[in-house]
Structure 1
Amino acid sequence: MRPIEPAAEFGRLREHGPIPRVQWSMGPGLSSTAWLVTRYADVREVLGSPHVSNRFYRGGLVVDQPGFLLSLDPPEHNRIRRMLTREFSVKRVNALRPRVEQIVHGFLDDMIATGPPADLMQALALPVPSLVICELLGVPYDDREEFQRRSGLLLDPRATREEAMANTREMNDYMSDLVTRQRNSPGEDILGALVREHGAEVSDAELVGIGNILLIAGHETTANTIGLGTLLLIQHPEQLALVRDDPSVLRTAVEEVLRYLSIVHTGSPRRVTEDITVAGQPIPAGDMVVVSLPSANRDGNFLTDADSFDVTRPVGAHLAFGHGIHQCLGQQLARMELAVVLPAMLTKLPNLRLAARQSDLAFRTDGPVNGVNALPIAWG
C-alpha cells in the first residue's frame, strides 16, 4: 500500500468486522499473535486503559532499557516523563521557534543556491529536525549520519536479531559517552538540565534511554511527516495554495496533515495485564494488542468525510500522536517545526512540483514509521 492511504481492509474492519487476531512482529526475530484494533473509539479505549501495558520483553533491544519512555509503565514512566515535561512545554517550544526558523531558512537558501532539482528528504526534511534535536540534546550535528543510520536500522523490520543487538550496543555506547560528559560538565541542553535538576534521582542508564528515544523520535517521525506532507500538498494543489497564501489556515493545516498521514502505524505493541473487553470482544490477560492509528483517524464516526484532505477544517482530537500516558512527549515541537517548514518552503520554492513520476517513488511501508526514501522536487 502507499503510506498516504491506509489499506481498504481497515475500512471494512471498522464497519463490519470483529476485532481480528493477526501475526505481529515484536522486534527482530520476535513475533506473536495480537488483537488488531482499528476503530477510533476502541483505539482510545485501549490506549487509555490501565490494564494494558507497554512493558514486555523484546529480546534485550534498545526499547527494553531504563528511561526508554515508550516501554515504561507507571510509576517509572510517570517519574521520567515528569522530568521532561517542562522541556517540551508550549512555552519552551515557542522560545525555540526563532532558532527553528533560522535553521529552516538556511537549508532553503542552500537549496535555492544549488538550484533544482533536489531531493527534499536529504536537503530539508531530514536535516531540519535532525539539527533541532541535536541542539536540544547536545549531540554534535556532524554525528547525524551515524545516528540516522542507527535509528533507521532500529526501525527496519528486515534487520536480523544479530544486527539489532549490535545496533543497540552502538547506540548505548554513543549515548553513554554523551551522558558521561554531561555528568562531568552539564550543558544547557536537555540532558544537561536533567543532570543539574534531577541528577540524584536519575541514573546514567536512564539518561542513556532518555537520550536514545529522544534522538530517534525527534527526527524520524517529523522528517517523514515533512516529506509525505509535501507530497500530499503537491497532490492537492488547491490545498497547497491555501497553506502558502493564507496564514489563518496554518494551524488547521498542520493538524490535518498529521491526521491524514498518521505516519506511525501502530505505536508500541501492548500486553493486556487484566482481562478486558473491547467492542464486545473479550481479550484475556497475557494477550498482545496493537492499534492502527491511521485507521482510527480515518474513522467516519470520529470525523465526517474522514478520507478527504481538507486543510481548513478543525480536526479535533486526532490520534496521530497517540493517546493516554504515552501520547507523544514532543508533539508540540513537531507541530511547531511543521508550522515553520511548510509555509516557508511553499513561499521560497514557488511552483513546487515533483521532479519524478509518482509511480517511481520508493515508499517505506514495512516499518513502524511510514515515509518516502527520496522525494525529487523542482520549483521556479
Structure 2
Amino acid sequence: MTQPETGLHYPFDRPAALEPPVEWAGLRDKCPVATVTLPSGDQASLLTRHADVKQVLSDPRFTRQLNAEDAARISDSESGGVFNDSSLATSLPTGDDMHVRWRRMITKWFTARRMTMLRPGIEAMAEQLIDEMVERGQPADLRAGLGFPLPVWVICDMLGVPHADRDRFAYWSDTLLNLSRYEQAEIDAAQAEFMQYMSAHVASKRAEPGDDLLSELTVHAEQWPDGVLAATGMGLLVAGHETTANMIGKMVSLLLADRRRWEQLLADRSLVRTAVEEVLRYDANLGFGMPRYINEDVEIAGTVIPRGTTVLCDMAAANRDGHVFDSADDMDLTRSPNPHLAFGVGTHSCIGQLLARTELQAVLDVLLRKLPTLQLAVEPSQLRRVEGLIIGGLSEVPVRW
C-alpha cells in the first residue's frame, strides 16, 4: 500500500469546528493504513476505514500496552499523556482476565434497567438547568449552562462525590486528557491531587458506605486494592462528564446548524433516539481516536503492520465511510440501522455508553419541549473547537431562543 509522499501530522486541522478534515476521504480511498506524526513527534499507523477500525478494536492482539518501550507517545508531554503513562492508566487492570472481571463489576451500574430508573432524575435536572439559563438571559452559553453541569451532576451522584468539587474535577480531567495544553509538572501535580482526592474518597466509603457505585465496590469487591478503586473512580469521573458534556454541545450545534433538522424533530419527537445515534455517527469532532499497540506482525487492509507499531483508530473517520453508510456525509435523523463506532467496539468499548445515550436523549427531549425556538447565536462557522486535549468538543455554544 502506497504511503503519502508528504508527512501527515495528526490530529488534522479542520475547515471549521463542525466539519471533517479534508484528509479523511483521500485516506479511506487510497491509503487506509497511513503513517502519521503525533503531537509527541512519534509516528503511528492511522486507520480510517470502518472495517479496519472495527477489526482492530475487536482483535485482542491489538492491546492497550501503550507503556511498552517502543510504543509511540501520544501527547507532547514527557510521559506521553493518559494513554501512555498516568496514575489512571497504570492503576486499572489490563490483563485479559482481570479486565473482564473489572468490567463486569462496573457494568452492573450501567444496565438498561438502571438507566431507565435514572432517566426521570436526569430530565428534572435538565429542566432546572434550562430554567436557570433562561432566567439569566440570552444569549447564553449552552455548554456552560447545561452541557457541562448535567453530566457532572449525574456522575457525581453515581460516585457519591460532592457536586461542589466539579470545577476541580474539570481541571484534573483536562490535565489527564492533555495533548499539548499543559506542561509535565502541571500534569503530575494535578494527577497527584486527583489520586489523593479519590483515594481519600474510597477510604471514606470503606468506613461509611453509602448508596453509590464506589460504596458497593468497597463492600462487595474487597479483592480489588484501593488503588484500583480510586483509579476506577477517576476514570468514570473523567469519562462520565467530559465526553458527554462536549457531546451535548456538539449535538445541539449540529441540529441547529441546519434548521431543518431541528424542525424535523419538533414535528416528530419519536425521532429523538435515532437522531442521537446519527449525531454520534456524524460528529466529525469526536476526539483523538483510540490507540492500540501490536507486538506481532499483523496484516490490515493489505498492509503488514510490523510488531511494535502503535495503531490509531479514527472512529469519527470510520463513521463517515461510504461503504457502510449511505450518503455518509449527510445527516439522516431517521437512519437505522446505524452501526457507528463512536463508543468503540469489543471488550474495550465504552462502559458508560448507555448512560451517555440516556443523557443525550433526555437533554434533547427536554430542550425540544422547553425551548422549541432555540437557535445558534453565531454562525456555525464561528464555533470554536476545544484545543490541546484528546477529547473533541466546542469551547462554547452560544444560543438564543
- TM-score above 0.5: yes
Residues 256, 315 of structure 1: 8 Å contact kept: no
Q: Give the match for residue 305 of structure 1.
A: 327
| Structure 1 residue 135: Cα displacement | 0.2
Q: Which residue of 1 aligns with 2:43?
A: 33
Structure 2 residue aligned with 1:17: 31
1:51 matched to 2:76? The reply is no
Q: 1:64, CA displacement in angstroms?
A: 2.6
| Contact 2:257-2:380 at 8 Å conserved across structures | no
Aligned match of 1:181 in 204, 207, 213? 204
TM-superposition CA deviations, 1:233-278 (whole Å, max 9, x none): 1112111122233122111111001111164334442110222100
Deviates more, 1:96-105 or 1:354-363: 354-363
Q: Is the 8 A contact 1:101 1:340 kept in 2?
A: yes
- 1:282 equivalent to 2:304? Answer yes
Which residue of structure 2 aligns with residue 144 of structure 1? 166
- What SS does structure 2 have at the residue aligned with 1:75? helix
Contact preservation (8 Å) 2:172, 2:190: yes
**The residue matched to 1:269 in structure 2 has which SS?**
strand
8 Å contact kept, 1:267–1:322: no
- The more displaced of 90-99 and 256-265 is 256-265
For structure 2, the 5+ residue unaligned runs are: 1-13, 68-72, 74-78, 80-84
Secondary structure in structure 2 of the residue aligned to 1:41: helix
Residue number among 219, 230, 251 corresponding to 1:196 in the alignment: 219
Q: Which residue of 2 aligns with 1:61?
A: 86
Is the contact made by 2:46 and 2:314 (CA closer than 8 Å) also made in structure 1? yes
Is contact 1:42–1:278 with CA below 8 Å preserved after alignment?
Answer: yes
- State the secondary structure of the residue aligned to 1:304: coil
Question: Is 1:257 aligned to 2:279, yes or no?
Answer: yes
Residue 215 of structure 1, aligned match among 237, 255, 278:
237
Are 2:375 and 1:350 equivalent residues in the alignment? Answer: no
Counterpart CA distance in 1 for 2:216 and 2:289 is 28
Partner of 2:7: none
Alignment match, 2:4? none
TM-score (normalised: structure 2)? 0.89
Equivalents in 2 of 1:260, 1:179: separation in Å? Answer: 38
The residue type equivalent to 2:390 in the other structure is P
Q: Quick check: 343-352 or 186-195, which moved more?
A: 343-352
What's the secondary structure of 1:371's corresponding residue? coil
* Change in CA separation of 1:3 and 1:326 when aligned onto 2, cut-off 3 Å: farther
Aligned to 1:76: 98
Counterparts of 1:170 and 1:214, CA distance in 2: 16
SS of the counterpart of 1:364? coil
Is 1:165 matched with 2:165? Answer: no
Contact 1:120/1:377 (<8 A) preserved: yes
| One-letter identity of the residue aligned with 1:13 | L
Q: Which residue of 2 aligns with 1:106?
A: 128
Q: Distance in 2 between matches of 1:304 and 1:253?
A: 16
The letter for the 2-side match of 1:39 is R
Bigger shift: residues 262-271 or 142-151:
262-271
Distance 2:19 2:361 in 1: 23
2:42 aligned counterpart, secondary structure: strand
Identity rate of aligned residues, in percent? 39
Q: Is the 8 A contact 2:122 2:362 kept in 1?
A: yes
With 216-225 and 9-18 compared, the bigger mean Cα shift is at 9-18
Count of residue correspondences = 371
2:318 & 2:236 partners in 1: Cα distance? 25
In the alignment, what sits opposite 2:348? Answer: 326
Q: Aligned equivalents of 2:368 and 2:273: distance in 1?
A: 16
Q: In 2, Cα distance between the equivalents of 1:150 and 1:123?
A: 20
Whichever residue aligns with residue 33 of structure 2, its letter is: I
Q: Distance in 1 between matches of 2:24 and 2:248?
A: 25
Change in CA separation of 1:21 and 1:130 when aligned onto 2, cut-off 3 Å: same
TM-score, normalised via structure 1 length: 0.93
Separation in 2, partners of 1:18, 1:218 = 32
In 2, Cα distance between the equivalents of 1:339 and 1:102?
13
Structure 1 unmatched runs, 5+:
none
Name the stretch that deviates more: 120-129 or 310-319.
310-319
Of the structure 1 ranges 290-299 and 312-321, higher mean CA displacement relative to structure 2 is found in 312-321
Q: Secondary structure at the match of 2:109?
A: helix
Distance 1:4 1:117 in 2: 20
Q: 1:344 to 1:245 in 2, by over 3 A?
A: farther
* Cα distance, 1:161 vs structure 2: 1.7
Aligned counterparts of 2:319 and 2:381: Cα–Cα separation in 1: 26
Q: CA deviation at 1:307?
A: 0.5
- Deviation track 1:156-187 (CA, whole Å, cap 9, x = no partner) reads 32212222211211110111111110111111
